[in-house]
Chain A
Amino acid sequence: MSELTQLGVQAIRDGVAGGTFTAREVAEACNAAVADAATLNAFIVTTPDHALAAADQVDADRAAGRPLGLMAGVPIGMKDLFATRGVQTTAASHILEGFTPQYESTVSQRLWDAGAGMLGKLNLDQFAMGSSNETSHFGDVVSPWRRSGSTAGLTPGGSSGGSSAAVAARLAPAATGTDTGGSIRQPAALTGICGIKPTYGRCSRWGIVAFASSLDQAGPMARNVTDCALMLQAMGGFDPKDSTSLDLPVPDWSGALDANLAGKRVGIPREYRMDGTDAAILKAWDDGIGWLKDAGAEVVDISLPHTEYALPAYYIIAPAEASSNLARYDGVRYGLRDLPQGANLQDMYAATRAAGFGDEVKRRILIGTYVLSAGYYDAYYTQAMKVRALVARDFAEAWDKCDVILAPTAPTAAFALGEKLSDPLAMYLGDVFSVPASLAGLPAMSVPAGLDGAGLPLGLQLIGRPLDEQGVLNAALAIEQRAGFTAQPDRWW
């Protein structure tokens, strides 16, 4: 049944609906692939029974002639940042180890309602803070990809590194991700898969462990553009339980996919041609420009003058919001408690948080606390919020000249595990191309463009106007059809 693990979301759904195979056969094949891939450490917990139960329900619905959902029979991986009722939810942290939610996140509930099942909870950077999946309390995720002729362990990207590794390794046809500064797009690029972060507010944040609330957005990660469109339709939609949820209908993105870009203008931001970007990435970018022209688009040069300031603004705003959001982990209501002998309440808070948070999380809490503290608030935090407004204004002005923007997703292909871990700032610089769209709340997607000289995948990023996921998906589809990306990692695990 191993060929079933090669199928994507749409192929599985249509195969189940048409009776080519059963949902149970798909779930069993994926469960087996997950069980055989423990070496990758992509999952924190596996939930084979959840996948089987959902599959059996779909098979029973089909037999009874009941209507099937958008994701009927599709087993997926769930990033361990989404609260799942009765299944441990940790955000890859020690402080939430053993936490068993009594409720289900809106996004995961919508996926189950659409007929999907859960293979397990996927590893990630702790509290989604990281770009390499090396800050997890449960160990690094290892990419299924390796450089030609090498056995060195590579990063699957982060923070959605378990998601990207599982989808690239054909353990799951798709997985959920969340993106605060690039955590869907960068891991997708590094593992040769697709991932879209929708417009801020499309997907409910209710039941997602909060990192930086003004930036966090959920989105799908899958192996082709159509599958991403389908899954995003299942995930998105208005939720009164999230005060920033957009009260708008969910468009039929998959049904409206159209790779003919005649009449569309594609902007190429000149500020994204930065020193330190791999030559292979620049070549892929040029290829992408050619493909979009071939699809009928007009290519125009644009300027996003505040690009270089997006990253420093992000590394003030995101830690500031994180320091506030993570104040809830106090050893009282849920999660870890460290109560030294004779400790008072304040000592207990400090001991619990020292024991429960990893180094990167502590760094960001400290930075965030500092930039929000009296005397520094205006110099750092208010200034960053003003720069954020300028970054967003750059995009707003660019939409006068173009309909969608094409750029690299990340400045390099996958790097080795351990390579950047000792230098937090070097790790932050890897987010340079993904952070600006996050600050502006725009829909953005990564799509595979090809392989570099070492045989590692490279991604291209499409950024769209607010609410124009369709334009992003259409341009990504045009690239997908022309890039002919069929490479997948050789199985070594």
Chain B
Amino acid sequence: MSVDKATVAKIASLARLRMDDAALDRMVPELNQILGFVEQLGQVDVTGVEPMTAVIAQSLRLRDDVVDADPLTGGGVRDAVLANAPAAEHGFFGVPKVIE
């Protein structure tokens, strides 16, 4: 399978990456070269093989149901959460208007 310019533009839109015409033109052959390389995976007989989702078998742990048991990942740290925001106002993240 290979991608054309319209497909790359669609992917870029899904990935929220603004790309102009020149950038798209540059990217199309690069992506096709990589996709051409990974194409060989189709030759592998995977009959009966389960997709691997974890390299080491592990069960998902549950933490104790205690509020802020770990202060590093607990709540009540609004200022720290907002400290690196490009636009923080009145204790909230600021974003452009989203409702017309």
Q: Could you tell me if A244 and B58 are in contact, using CB atoms closer than 8 angstroms?
A: yes
Q: B19, B39, B40, B55: which has the most chain A beta carbons within 10 Å?
A: B55
Which of B33, B51, B81, B95 is the one whose CB lies under 8 Å from A345? B95
Would you call A241 and B70 a contact (CB within 8 A)?
yes
* Segment among A42-50, A99-107, A119-127, A129-137 that sits at the interface with chain B: A99-107
**A475 contacts chain B at the CB level, 8 A cutoff:** no
Given contacts A389-B49, A389-B51, contact A241 B86 (CB under 8 A): no
- Contact present for A316 and B41 (CB under 8 Å): yes
- Main secondary structure, interface of A, reads helix
User: Judging by beta carbons under 8 Å apart, are A344 and B17 in contact?
Assistant: no
A357→B17 contact, CB < 8 A:
yes
The answer to whether A416 has its CB under 8 Å from any CB of chain B is no
Residue of A nearest to B38 (CB): A312
Decide if A425 is an interface residue (CB 8 Å cutoff).
Answer: yes
Contacts of B15 in A (CB 8 A): 323, 353, 365-366, 369
Bound-state Cα–Cα, A370 to B35, Å: 10
Contact with A along B28-44 (1 / 0, CB 8 A): 00110111011111101
CA distance A331 to B63 in the complex (A): 31
Q: Is A225 an interface residue (CB 8 A)?
A: no
A334 touches B46 (CB 8 A): no
Q: How many residues of A contact B (CB 8 A)?
A: 73
Interface residues on B, range: 35 or more
Interface digits, B1-30 against A, CB 8 Å rule (1 contact, 0 not)?
Answer: 101000110011111111100000001001
Q: Is the CB of B27 within 8 A of A440?
A: no
Cα–Cα, bound, A323→B56 (Å): 23
Shortest CB distance A333–B (Å): 6
Instruction: Judge whether B18 and A366 touch: CB under 8 Å.
Output: no
Cβ of A330 under 8 Å from chain B: yes
* B12 partner residues in chain A, CB cutoff 8 A: 366
Given A309-B41, A373-B14, decide whether A102 and B95 contact each other with a Cβ distance below 8 A. Answer: no
The residue that A383 contacts in the complex, of B3, B41, B95, with Cβ under 8 A, is B41
How distant is B66 from chain A, measured CB to nearest CB, in Å? 12
Residues 300-317 of A at the B interface (beta carbon under 8 Å): 306, 308-309, 312-313, 315-316
Please determine whether A369 and B14 come into contact, CB atoms closer than 8 angstroms: yes
Across the interface, B27 reaches (CB within 8 A) one of A333, A363, A425, namely: A363
List the one stretch of A73-81, A178-186, A335-343 in contact with chain B.
Answer: A335-343
CB within 8 Å for A386 and B52 given contacts A100-B84, A312-B41, A335-B86: yes
Instruction: Name A235-266 residues within 8 Å CB distance of B.
Output: 240-241, 243-244, 246-247
Q: Does A349 contact B (CB under 8 A)?
A: yes
CB pair B55 A424 closer than 8 Å: no
Are A349 and B31 in contact (CB-based, < 8 A)? no
Chain A CB within 8 A of B67 CB? no
7 contacts between A and B (CB under 8 A): A333-B84, A334-B85, A344-B97, A353-B18, A385-B53, A390-B46, A392-B55
Instruction: Given contacts A362-B17, A440-B55, list 16 more A-B pairs with CB under 8 A.
Output: A102-B83, A102-B84, A240-B61, A240-B70, A241-B70, A244-B56, A306-B44, A312-B38, A312-B39, A354-B17, A366-B27, A367-B31, A367-B34, A376-B1, A386-B49, A441-B55
Interface residues of chain A, those whose CB is within 8 Å of chain B, are 99-103, 199-201, 214, 240-241, 243-244, 246-247, 306, 308-309, 312-313, 315-316, 323, 327, 330-337, 339, 343-351, 353-354, 357, 362-363, 365-367, 369-370, 373, 376, 379-380, 382-390, 392, 424-425, 428, 439-441, 466
